[in-house]
Amino acid sequence: MKTETIKMRKSEAKKEWKSYIELLKSREIKEKKELQQFKSLYYYLKKGMKIINIYNAFKKAGLNKDGLPKLAIARADLKSISLKISKWNLGGCSFKKESWNWNKGDVSLPDKIFNFPKIEQDIIKQTQVPIIPAKYRPTNPKNFHLLWEVKKWEEPPKDPILLKAITKNLFVVFAIWDLTPLERAFVEGR
């Protein structure tokens, strides 16, 4: 899967990272959470990592022939994820652990990301979440997300990206890989 990423020269990112460290030390600031997020983003950029704006990734990927998103996102420790598109929707959707409850790590895309066909009732689809091979597996997968392309919502995934959320839409890329036939078969049988 190819997605557009945000990159920066390490030296530039390091300067910006240091400036946010100094700013956060210097005084009491109302928007401290936002400044901490910027500091984190520049920290990863200075390490040579890439950032994905998931809103742009979903918008660019668009919808499949069934009118469903071509991408899915889920917390990395889950086995399956539900896509929910509300009949009152204005172009957004949610990826949830359960279709009815809100859980930490669920991801909602805002209105105007998609141009869904008019629907009479909520759409809820479920798909399997990829596994993370040992060489990419973080210590605590609950703190990470997986993004992948969905050919059909009932089929196991092929090409995940391991991400860490910094803001609602900006995620750091930790790994990209293709699942082996064995891993795909394992996911299918979960």
Q: How far apart are CA 18 and CA 36, in angstroms?
A: 12
pLDDT, greater one: 120 or 70 = 70
Written as six digits, the tokens of 62 are: 């668009």
Copy the structure tokens of residue 133.
Answer: 């091979």
Average pLDDT taken over every residue of the chain: 90
| Per-residue model confidence as pLDDT tens digits over 122-133 | 889 989 999 999
Residue 87: per-residue pLDDT: 83
Query: What band does 57 get if pLDDT is binned at 50, 70 and 90?
Result: very high
User: Mean of the pLDDT values across residues 97-104?
Assistant: 70
pLDDT tier, 156 (very low <50, low <70, confident <90, very high otherwise) = confident
* CA-based nearest residue to 173, from 44, 42, 40: 44
pLDDT band at 119 (very low <50, low <70, confident <90, very high): confident
**130 or 188, which is more confident?**
130
69, 75, 107, 153, 170 from 99: Cα distances, Å: 16, 14, 12, 15, 24
Give the model's pLDDT for residue 164: 97
| 97 DSSP assignment | S
Q: How many CA atoms lie within 13 A of 107 on its CB side?
A: 27
> pTM here?
0.90
Sort residue 88 into left (φ over 0), alpha (ψ -120 to 50) or beta.
alpha
Residue 52 has pLDDT above 90, yes or no: yes
Q: Which of the four pLDDT bands, split at 50, 70 and 90, describes residue 8?
A: very high
Give pLDDT tens digits for 13-43.
999 999 999 888 876 777 788 999 999 999 9
Order the strands of the 80-85 sheet from edge to edge: 107-109, 93-96, 80-85, 123-128
Instruction: Output the furthest CA–CA distance in the chain (Å, rounded).
Output: 54
